[in-house]
Amino acid sequence: MSKMNLPNKLTIFRIVLIVPFILLLLGEGSGWKWFSAIFGGIMEYVDYIALGVFIVASLTDLIDGKIARKYNLVTNFGKFMDPLADKLLVSAALIALVEMDRIPAWIVIVIISREFIISGFRLVAADNHVVIAASYWGKFKTVFQMVMVCLLIADIPKLRLVTEIVMWVALALTVVSLVDYLIKNKNVMLEQK
């Protein structure tokens, strides 16, 4: 087995970062004594530390894909794990934000449901030897979801209106990108073996 290349290491690093990110994000209201002992003096900044971890994890997504394509380091492991790492990171963040009462659960259900539907579609497509490329709608959706998560974590009172607008745009793009994806790839589901 060949050595793990840099893009794949970055993907694994992104998955590993989910653990400290969630611990930091949920730790303050968890009642964990060890959390207070470690972060007692900087408790008011813990959300910002969590935000920093989320941004670093999100940037690894941007970097690993560029490196893989530029240096021809695309692997089956990367094709499988990269989108999975993204879904795990965003889903973990959104579920934690529901717990913190910063986003309605129904919005998170719509966003996560879209990811399950697209993943199922991709599995069927792969079984039929069809490669489905990411659309611009999907890319816009990802950008707005990441910005939305960052704003919700930061929870800055003066940016509440901006946060609300970004949340609704992210939700709209989630639905639009799903509909676009289903329409463009409807033949995948209609094909018979």
**What are the angstrom distances between the C-alpha of 176 and each of 84, 111, 113, 180?**
21, 11, 13, 6
With tokens 């008011």, the residue in question is 44
Contact (Cβ atoms closer than 8 angstroms) between residue 5 and residue 75: yes
- pLDDT, one tens digit per residue, over 131-180 is 777 788 988 998 999 999 999 999 999 999 999 999 999 999 999 999 99
Judged by average pLDDT, the poorest of 17-21, 36-40, 71-75, 82-86 is: 36-40
How much is the pLDDT for 1? 43
Q: Residue 117 above 50 pLDDT?
A: yes
Mean pLDDT comparison of 41-45, 107-111, 178-182, highest-scoring range? 107-111
Count of CB atoms situated within 10 Å of the CB of 38: 14
